[in-house]
């Protein structure tokens, strides 16, 4: 019934007097969607617009049929900012229980989220003392609380070791199979292959949108990085 999870129409965002996104149209569906592009291309701004914390200058963003950031969406969209966005001075479980309470979920939800990110052994550890990868997973666990219909993750795999990155992408796919649409941003092009659908972004515009194989085939290249370069060249001509 609902094929599109996110619909962006004529979105315009101005930051510091400069348009960061200017007239963006986009439809995002189920599965794992990767938003890829270089640093500063507007990925975070787009994600923030989708979760409704970005001040926008024009256009509309509709999530699950409701205006982005509106009341009915607040317990249906999980979001993780670029930082892990958890309280460093609380234990992992204290963090999860707090956010579960805000969402009106029972304490057992905290434990479920902990299991999902494979941190069961670290429940009583203080978040600030965990490694970067573990803290990022705590942030992810918070976003997973209450099984949201849409999960928006801003660069959750940056700086992690390859094994952990692989595990996290496997987790994103498991979550997507259970019916949650997952939108993940990254500036690492080699993560493209792990997505069902790809959004390539540059200078506030989406320059390609589709399954990774289709994007590569359309440009007649073997990898996404080459496809990205070819698309940029094409745009210049």
Name the site residues for other proteins (rule: CB under 8 A). 15-16, 48, 51-56, 69, 71, 74-75, 77, 79-90, 94, 98-99, 101-104, 126, 142
Least spacing, CB of residue 205 vs other proteins, in Å? 20
Q: CB nearer to other proteins: give 86 or 199.
A: 86
Residue 179: count other Cβ atoms within 10 Å of its Cβ.
9
Q: CB nearer to other proteins: give 34 or 52.
A: 52
Least spacing, CB of residue 127 vs other proteins, in Å? 11
Tokens coding 8: 């962006």
Least spacing, CB of residue 196 vs other proteins, in Å? 24
Q: CB nearer to other proteins: give 131 or 233.
A: 131
Q: CB nearer to other proteins: give 4 or 82.
A: 82
Residue 222: count other Cβ atoms within 10 Å of its Cβ.
9
Least spacing, CB of residue 148 vs other proteins, in Å? 10
DSSP 98: H
- Token look-up 């600030």 returns 128
* CA–CA distances in Å: residue 219 to residues 29, 41, 222, 225: 23, 21, 9, 11
Contact (Cβ atoms closer than 8 angstroms) between residue 176 and residue 159 = no
Angle (CA) 28-31-34 rounded to 5° is 65
């Amino acid at each position: 019934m609902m094929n599109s999870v996110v619909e962006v129409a004529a979105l315009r965002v101005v930051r510091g007097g400069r348009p960061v996104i200017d007239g963006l149209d986009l439809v995002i569906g189920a599965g794992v969607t990767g938003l890829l592009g270089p640093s500063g291309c507007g990925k975070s701004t787009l994600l923030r617009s989708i979760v409704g914390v970005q001040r926008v200058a024009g256009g509309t963003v509709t999530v699950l049929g409701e205006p982005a950031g509106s009341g009915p969406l607040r317990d249906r969209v999980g979001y993780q900012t670029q930082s892990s966005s958890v309280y460093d001075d609380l234990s992992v479980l204290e963090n999860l229980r707090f956010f579960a309470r805000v969402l009106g979920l029972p304490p057992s939800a905290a434990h479920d989220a902990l299991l999902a990110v494979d941190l069961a052994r670290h429940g009583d550890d203080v978040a600030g003392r965990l490694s970067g990868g573990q803290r990022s997973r705590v942030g992810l666990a918070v976003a997973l609380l209450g099984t949201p219909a849409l999960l928006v993750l801003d660069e959750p795999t940056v700086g992690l070791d390859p094994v952990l990155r692989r595990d996290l992408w496997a987790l994103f796919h498991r979550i997507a199979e259970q019916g949650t649409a997952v939108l993940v941003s990254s500036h690492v092009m080699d993560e493209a292959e792990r997505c069902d659908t790809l959004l390539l972004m540059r200078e506030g515009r989406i320059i390609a949108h589709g399954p990774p194989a289709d994007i590569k085939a359309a440009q007649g290249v073997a990898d996404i990085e080459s496809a990205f370069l070819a698309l940029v060249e094409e745009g210049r001509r």
